[in-house]
Amino acid sequence: MTAEKHVLSILVDNQPGVLSRIAGLFSGRGYNIESLCVAETTEPLVSRITIVTKANTLGIEQINKQLNKLINVIKVHELTGTAYVEREMALIKVKAKPENRAEILRIVDIFRCKVVDVGLEHYTIEITGDEGKLAAIMSLLKPIGIKEIAKTGIIALYREPK
């Protein structure tokens, strides 16, 4: 069986140590967390954790079962294979020599992102989108010269039935 990407949206109690127990569950079973995003929900006592991992079908079933056994886990949604919306944000610092500035600004316009910081020799670009959009802009900016990248990791919500 091959490992496939899985996106898990987990509602948990907003308490110290909960994230540690969840991360420990993954490391204890040898699964890598590819991205992790945690934030409070509209209810201050509840947080949403979005985890992206790779596992085969049997492995993801084991992860779901083990997560549901943790006391502070309220609900686990495995979003892969369902209708859901995902986004990721990135800050990309690009070398901006005078001869490249117009090209960088064209790329920023095409991808509907924005320049959030300008220096004598760099632009910092903020972009939000799915993995494909981020990969596409990075492939265009890479030949110009990417200095640094910071990414949030995927956040996701399942779609409500229409």
The answer to whether 1 touches 56, Cβ cutoff 8 Å, is yes
Calpha distance 76→53 (Å, rounded): 14
Where are the alpha helices (H) located in the chain, listed in sequence order? 18-28, 57-69, 101-110, 131-141
Nearest to 74 by CA among 6, 11, 162: 11
- Rounded Cα–Cα distance for residues 5 and 80 (Å): 8
Tell me what pLDDT residue 11 has: 97
pLDDT digit of tens for each residue in the chain (162 aa)?
Answer: 688 999 999 999 999 999 999 999 999 989 999 999 999 999 999 999 999 999 999 999 999 999 999 999 999 999 998 999 999 999 999 999 999 999 999 999 999 999 999 999 999 999 999 989 999 999 999 999 999 999 999 999 999 888
Judge whether 63 and 45 are in contact, CB under 8 Å: no
- Residue 8: the pLDDT is 96
Q: What pLDDT score was predicted for residue 36?
A: 95
Task: Give the position of tokens 């990969």.
Answer: 135
**pTM: predicted TM-score of the whole model, two decimal places:** 0.85
Confirm if 12 and 50 have CB atoms less than 8 A apart. Answer: no
Which pLDDT value is given to residue 1? Answer: 66
Strands 4-13 and 73-78: antiparallel
Q: Check if the beta carbon of residue 102 is closer than 8 Å to that of residue 77.
A: no
